[in-house]
Structure 1
């Protein structure tokens, strides 16, 4: 796979190298590996400020149009920062396959923006629907506006691998696949452990994982409350990470969750919670200082709050031991 070159000027590198976190600690070493999700309320402020940040992430589908203000804003951001395209619509686990129009629009956006990474979710959203009244019966593919969980079975793995291969072949690059927060599970005799499922996906397709640490913690807390797991949620999430092979992960996602008391919901609407930071530190120790993103999609705060969260991630990366020089 060809890797695109980033168009980041020397002034931006110098700004990133001198970035300080709000608490006074220098975040230079981790700054280049930390990003935020760039959302519409911050477009104007972003354009007016020189933000020292490694990359920004946007939702791919918001920029599928051939022109317009949103695409112009993204192209301006791309002049100074690496951009990661994160999709929510490929529905990589759908048995009916990938929507051709969606994939073509994504390919055009990738060619235009030259993103540093392209990612989507291990979910399904597309399924056939047959109207009982139609004569003869004709199936229409419906696309749900949600990230629906898949069963971790060999059959699901085959579907996911086929779809990931198709996307990578069209985009001419490897992609990252994200693990979900799921609020139901499948009672299937062929069910595989989730880390084994994703390890096989990486091995068979050459993709990488976008490891959403928040999703791991959300699933672990809910499993404990439902009586499906007895281990501490942090320990359960760390065990998931330990079961993945070295080199499997290409990026981390960090976000806040909403605890309703009976159910924890991955709402991306608050600061990162303490258990997520603890699991993130474990993930850093295992996989190294990989690109890490602060996600915040509901009740979007000020840009400074997002940058402060990014600084916290950078500080944790900086706390890792420096790589040893080769002998």
Structure 2
């Protein structure tokens, strides 16, 4: 005999008399709470126009550097930018924005992000630590809980772009962000270096994005060459299999650009200042500007395609009704 839940069609699920003795009460209430939290998260991001994930298959490829410089680049164009650091065990974003000694402030609207300037806001677990050298030794559920707090409780106000800096690989943090933000994410930027060992891990990241239904905006090849202080350019990490360009051709991905190693860029990250304010012109500056413009165009193209699909679907529904 099939079991029929008397409260399944009611809005006030869990308060029906039959709910008290139901063996699935905890499961049902857990699903209800999760739905309520997802609604809260959706409301938090109503005024955030675009969300970009920055991913890398392995550590040490400059993912956080790309995330920080993309934020600085967009801010230099007068966009309002937020940076959410979900690298729980290795938060380096505060260092790159000169915010190491800052702490989270709580207001009646929620947690307030820390501001680097009028149009760059940052949130990171580093703001919760009593000392920058303290290690975060957490298992998955606790990481997931903090990320949920970040997306549910942080008040970003109005943002043109929110850049999410993730840890290397495909772990709890990635799954949490993909599930909490869902359709709000415009896409992911994959960061790699030219060596095959890095490209191999990026290919795994591509697989993750497809399984998690995350759009891939494109790939940035970092450290593609080295520019000395004298201006001479040389290739340190010589690609053995064609680098990111060949991989993008094989996997039908967009190569957003190639960023060279630049001493001034490294110094800017260490000092927590904008590379764009310190250097007037260089190959690295031009590459970052081109990467930024390409990302903006890719997001706009995706938006237009999405609107076209909505229009087509509406026309089909109107025709069916007719």
Name the TM tier (shorter chain). Answer: 0.3 to 0.5
TM-score, normalization: structure 2? 0.39
